[in-house]
Amino acid sequence: MSGAALVGYSSSSGGSEDESGGSPRAAAGREEGAGGGSARGAATHGAGPAQTSMPILRLPLPDSVLNMFRDQEEEVTDDSSKHGGRVRNFPHERGNWATYVYLPCEIQEELLELRELLVSHARRYTVSLTAMEEFHVSLSQSVVLRYHWINPLVQSLKEHVASFYRFFCTASQVKVYTNQRKTRTFVGLEVSCGHSQLLELVSEVDKVMEEFDLPTFYKNPSFHISLAWCVGDLTDKLEGQCLQELQEIVDGFEDSTFLLRFQWDQIRCRSGNKFFSFPLR
């Protein structure tokens, strides 16, 4: 990590065979006759009179069958221009589902106002930040799952976090982060109070990842809530004087002590376009 590593943010059946279950070449062979010879050839060699080949009628598959597995894979086109210049942490492959575990933050109007103040101030240092649309604290890296792994992993997560109680965190320290490939920079609020509970949760999430031979979370993580981001590594522009002024904005914001205290009552897992929630006790 730079400052601290950041988790990456992250998605009909078809084939060459015909509907009868064979390839086009095999279908042609069936129409030619036994032994691969043509009907005319069979008549020449005394195998019997030539038989007229009849066209094979195929009934169309019902929509219920065609749509049966449509939700198992996402249609994704890698075009960074459609995502503000963001670059995937790993290439998209059909059947792979980007997955991560996190604690969701309730969006409050006051927090949105604070975010806009920080974004506006960063422009003075020629940094154009994009506001985050949702807030969360990551408990895992973004990993790749095959579709048939999703439900077993979710079930294992549910079992590992079932004993955890709700707790509070305080996040008031402004910090600058980059992802591992340094293709994006983030301005976030680092968690201070509640750090030990987060480490306990990560320990259980890591056990689940190990079950599926997936990467565990970062060592000595800096838990944080990202508020805004930009493309590229702009830590040099954001740190130093700019970071100090951003911290002054947070410290001077009305009711910041109350605003930046978060209660966690559930854990979530996102896999592609699927969301799973695990309530805390």
Active-site residue, 45 included: no
Please count the residues of the chain: 281
Listed residue (201, 240, 245, 241) closest to 223, CA to CA: 201
Question: Who contacts 272 (Cβ-Cβ below 8 Å, separation ≥6)?
Answer: 11, 74, 97, 98, 99
Catalytic residue (one of 83, 136, 148, 195): 136
Active-site residue, 160 included: no
Listed residue (229, 274, 161, 236) closest to 9, CA to CA: 229
Q: Are the beta carbons of 169 and 262 closer than 8 angstroms?
A: yes
Angle at 41 between CA 39 and CA 44, to 5 degrees: 115
Question: 3-class SS at 242?
Answer: helix
Question: Who contacts 74 (Cβ-Cβ below 8 Å, separation ≥6)?
Answer: 11, 97, 272, 273
Q: Are the beta carbons of 44 and 50 closer than 8 angstroms?
A: no
* Measured distance CA(1)–CA(261) in Å, rounded: 25
Question: Who contacts 195 (Cβ-Cβ below 8 Å, separation ≥6)?
Answer: 169, 223
* Measured distance CA(202)–CA(214) in Å, rounded: 14
Catalytic residue (one of 92, 148, 160, 224): 224
Which residues belong to the active site?
136, 224
